């Protein structure tokens, strides 16, 4: 085990102890992970222990569930700086909800923590999430199978991907919700999501 692995394990043990083995945002107890609140410095005080549901919504991989985040009305009072910062950021993303707006008014962060909370710029976003969607609006995930809705000429090759071609085990292009990657005739290509539909 490397020194880095050891320090991550030690950090996780300390966070489990600090949180009572619960998500520090919603108190869930399953499959908890260490999340370093950006811009993190590797210090334990920059990290929180959170559940997969909170993480997916924080990272904008799932739509915001307003009911789920009512938990912030409790967790925002945590004495842990990273929890306060995450509560502030998420409340700001939900600021169109009256309960979230009221909570923001009550939540006090000192200058240093407020600067940290604003550093990611995440609070300026609204609750909309950029997801990969097919031509009918179905949400795509890594590993899905899709069907081409248009014949496509593949740039730089002689391949013509015909309409109706099934592309299995796709990979989402991380920084572009309009593109996925998949194999057609053994070649890895980029396909625009507007030219495909999710299979099944």
Residue by residue, DSSP assigns 95-158 as TTSHHHHHHHHH----HHHHHHHHHT-GGGS-S-----B-TT-PBP-TT--EEESS-EEPTTSS
* Residue ranges, the chain, pLDDT below 50: 1, 6
Residue pair 198/146 in contact by the 8 Å Cβ criterion = yes
| pLDDT computed for residue 1 by the predictor | 45
Instruction: Quote the CA–CA distance of 40 and 168 in Å, as a whole number.
Output: 37
Beta bridge partners of 50: 33
**Which 3 state secondary structure label does DSSP give 197?**
strand
Instruction: Quote the CA–CA distance of 23 and 32 in Å, as a whole number.
Output: 7
| pLDDT computed for residue 34 by the predictor | 93
Instruction: Quote the CA–CA distance of 144 and 147 in Å, as a whole number.
Output: 10
| pLDDT computed for residue 126 by the predictor | 55
| pLDDT computed for residue 124 by the predictor | 63
Question: How wide is the angle at C-alpha 129 spanned by C-alphas 93 and 76, nearest 5°?
Answer: 30
To 10 degrees, what angle do helices 98-106 and 81-93 make?
Answer: 140
Extents of the domains making up the chain: 3-124, 146-198
- CB burial of residue 4 (10 Å; 0-12, 13-18, 19+): exposed
Instruction: Quote the CA–CA distance of 36 and 49 in Å, as a whole number.
Output: 9
- Residues 146-198, CATH architecture: Roll (2.30)
Beta bridge partners of 191: 180
The model's pTM: 0.63
| pLDDT computed for residue 8 by the predictor | 54
For residues 50, 53, 59, 63, the Cα torsion angle rounded to the nearest 10 degrees is -150
Let me know how long the chain is: 200
| pLDDT computed for residue 104 by the predictor | 92
Q: Give the helix/strand (H/E) hosting 84.
A: helix 81-93
């Amino acid at each position: 085990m490397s020194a880095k692995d050891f320090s991550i394990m030690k950090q996780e043990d300390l966070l489990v102890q600090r949180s009572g083995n619960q998500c520090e945002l919603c108190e869930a107890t399953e499959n908890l992970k260490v999340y370093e609140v950006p811009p993190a410095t590797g210090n334990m005080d920059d990290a929180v222990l959170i559940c997969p549901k909170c993480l997916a919504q924080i990272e904008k991989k799932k739509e915001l569930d307003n009911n789920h985040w009512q938990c912030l009305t409790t967790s925002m009072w945590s004495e842990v700086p990273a929890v306060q910062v995450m509560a502030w950021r998420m409340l700001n993303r939900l600021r169109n909800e009256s309960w979230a707006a009221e909570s923001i008014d009550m939540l006090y962060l000192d200058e240093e923590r407020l600067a940290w909370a604003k550093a990611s710029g995440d609070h300026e976003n609204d609750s909309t999430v950029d997801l990969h969607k097919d031509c009918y609006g179905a949400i795509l995930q890594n590993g899905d199978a899709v069907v081409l809705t248009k014949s496509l000429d593949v740039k730089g090759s002689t391949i013509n991907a015909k309409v109706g071609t099934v592309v299995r085990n796709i990979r989402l292009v991380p920084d572009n919700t309009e593109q996925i990657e998949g194999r057609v005739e053994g070649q890895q290509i980029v396909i625009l999501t507007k030219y495909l539909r999710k299979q099944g």
